[in-house]
Amino acid sequence: MLSGSALEKEFQRVRAVTLQLCEPLETEDFDLQAIPETSPVKWHLAHTTWFFETFVLKPFLTDYRAWNPAFEQLFNSYYNGVGEPFARARRGLLSRPLVSEVYQYRQAVDQHILALLHYCDSSTSDVEIQQRIELGLHHEMQHQELMLTDLKYCFYVNPLKPVYRAEKPAESELASGESGRDAPGWQSFAGGLIVVGAVAEQFCFDNETPSHRQFLEPFALAESLVTNGEYRKFVEDGGYQRAELWLADGWDTVCRQRWQAPLYWRLNEGSWLEYRLDGEHPLAEQRPVSHLSYYEADAFARWSEARLPTEAEWELAASGYPVEGNFLDAGNFRPQMARAGEQGMKQLFGDVWEWTGSSYLPYPGYVASRDTLGEYNGKFMSNQMVLRGGSCASARAHIRSTYRNFFYPGDRWQFSGLRLCRSV
């Protein structure tokens, strides 16, 4: 657990990153909400502040008064234990409070948090304060990623295809139609009895615990992520027209939503284009494919005569590697090519979240906290699938090999891709 001056510095750093992500935006951009699954940037700014006010300032400052009592409902996400949240699908209707008021709200709460941290000591209550602030920082890092993915979708539905930020100078890339890389290598794992989950010596979410034993059969994992070029072959082989490749719910979704390719792909005069946060560009074949639903990832794996790894298989493969990769900190905001000459497992962390074949369920022995914060993860353990590894929009400090992300199988506005697995 972070404490003392280290926690104070981390609080200031994380809160500043959120504001930096807003710098390229105009005022009109802050209230966009294209679909119910996304939230406006202004709402993210206010909600992350509401979290600190609700779970730190109100319980631990006896003379604290809410900055604006109306915010207690407007910026509550799903915590029924502290009141009735404002409907998620209607967040884009909140033209008031003004963006400037939300910035003032953040500043006021920040001042209170920093003052509280300054006087924290090693007492039991102060340790709980520090733990909640650290949880709030990881909560904010989650919303930094959501700000980018939500904004990307909102910009995408605009025919003008707005640019969030111009492309950073980067390595050259192969556009659609050029030769792709060689077939990826595979790394074999003996399996056996392994330990899965986090040991809570450093920060982790409750859904990563308790650590427990699990038996794995031998398997092989692709050393590389599936690329745009490899996925394009699936599309051009009629992958979206072949019912036998899809789970029943997936095929129903393909037909109902009329999917023909990954989200953000567009066929233009025989060539594929891809919308990114730096605008629309020719499809970069060497970069990892992203914005796939679980259904699409599963269908591609079946087409490839492979499968998706379980989360335990993925965690075993990743446990021996440092958490390094293309994260939000690099400022690329899109998946990058694997580094030339890199040996072993590539891009396990960053670039794209990797779908697994595992349902999001509690680990053996898991018990959600009985307080209001117990609503953070536990109540979502139904009808969702686990993703691992982080993405180009994830903060580096937020990711670890035991981290369990989760989304519904039809969701694809996140930076989500896949790595193939085979049973041996």
User: pLDDT by residue (tens digit) across 237-257?
Assistant: 999 999 999 999 999 999 999
Are residues 121 and 191 both part of a single domain? no
Q: Is residue 170 situated within a structural domain?
A: no
- In the sheet that 186-189 helps form, which strands lie side by side, from edge to edge? 186-189, 219-222, 421-423
Neighbours of 405 (CB within 10 A): 25
Q: Residue for token digits 């209550």?
A: 125
Q: Is residue 299 situated within a structural domain?
A: yes
Are residues 147 and 211 both part of a single domain? no
Residue 260: pLDDT band by 50, 70, 90 thresholds?
very high
Task: Give the CATH number for residue 396.
Answer: 3.90.1580.10
Are residues 301 and 393 both part of a single domain? yes
Instruction: Extract long-range pairs of 159-162: CB within 8 Å, 24+ residues apart.
Output: 161/275, 161/279, 161/280
- Whether 177 shows a pLDDT value over 60: the answer reads no
- Whether 385 shows a pLDDT value over 70: the answer reads yes
What pLDDT is recorded for position 411? 98
- Whether 172 shows a pLDDT value over 60: the answer reads no
Listed in sequence order, the residues at least 6 apart from 35 whose beta carbon sits closer than 8 Å to its beta carbon are 153, 413
User: pLDDT by residue (tens digit) across 280-298?
Assistant: 999 999 999 999 999 999 9
Measure the CA–CA gap between 32 and 378, rounded to whole angstroms.
29
Q: Is residue 284 situated within a structural domain?
A: yes
Q: Is residue 179 situated within a structural domain?
A: no
Are residues 239 and 110 both part of a single domain? no
Q: What is the pTM of this model?
A: 0.94
Counting residues of the chain whose pLDDT is more than 90, the rounded percentage is 83
**What is the mean predicted confidence (pLDDT) over 45-58?**
97
Amino acid at 55: F
What are the backbone angles phi and psi of residue 181, rounded to the nearest 5°? -80, 170
Are residues 80 and 150 both part of a single domain? yes
User: pLDDT by residue (tens digit) across 157-166?
Assistant: 999 999 999 8
What pLDDT is recorded for position 340? 72
Are residues 264 and 402 both part of a single domain? yes
Residue 342: pLDDT band by 50, 70, 90 thresholds?
confident
Residue among 350, 342, 349, 332 nearest 170 (CA): 332
Q: Is residue 302 situated within a structural domain?
A: yes
Considering its fold, how many domains does the chain have in total?
2
Of 105, 134, 156, the domain-final residue: 156
Are residues 328 and 377 both part of a single domain? yes
What pLDDT is recorded for position 200? 67
What pLDDT is recorded for position 133? 96
- Whether 181 shows a pLDDT value over 60: the answer reads no
What pLDDT is recorded for position 375? 67
Are residues 316 and 225 both part of a single domain? yes
Strand blocks (E) in 157-315: 186-189, 192-196, 212-216, 219-222, 265-268, 271-276, 279-282
Are residues 362 and 308 both part of a single domain? yes
**What is the mean predicted confidence (pLDDT) over 97-118?**
96
Q: Is residue 136 situated within a structural domain?
A: yes
**What is the mean predicted confidence (pLDDT) over 315-324?**
95
Task: Give the CATH number for residue 35.
Answer: 1.20.120
User: pLDDT by residue (tens digit) across 390-421?
Assistant: 999 999 999 999 999 999 999 999 999 999 99
- Whether 26 shows a pLDDT value over 50: the answer reads yes
Does the CA dihedral 157-161-167-171 come out positive or negative? positive
Are residues 257 and 359 both part of a single domain? yes
Q: Is residue 162 situated within a structural domain?
A: no
Residue among 119, 123, 144, 124 nearest 7 (CA): 119
> Which one has a higher pLDDT value, 308 or 177?
308
Average pLDDT, the chain: 93
Are residues 116 and 203 both part of a single domain? no
User: pLDDT by residue (tens digit) across 326-337?
Assistant: 999 999 999 999
Are residues 151 and 208 both part of a single domain? no
Q: Write the CA distances from 388 to 26, 237, 304, 364, integer angstroms.
A: 33, 28, 21, 19
What pLDDT is recorded for position 416? 98
Alpha helices in 157-264 (DSSP H): 228-236, 248-257
- Whether 123 shows a pLDDT value over 60: the answer reads yes
Of 156, 177, 210, the domain-final residue: 156
Q: Which domain holds residue 112?
A: 4-156
Q: Is residue 175 situated within a structural domain?
A: no
Q: Write the CA distances from 348 to 23, 193, 394, integer angstroms.
A: 30, 22, 13
What pLDDT is recorded for position 171? 46
Of 117, 141, 156, the domain-final residue: 156
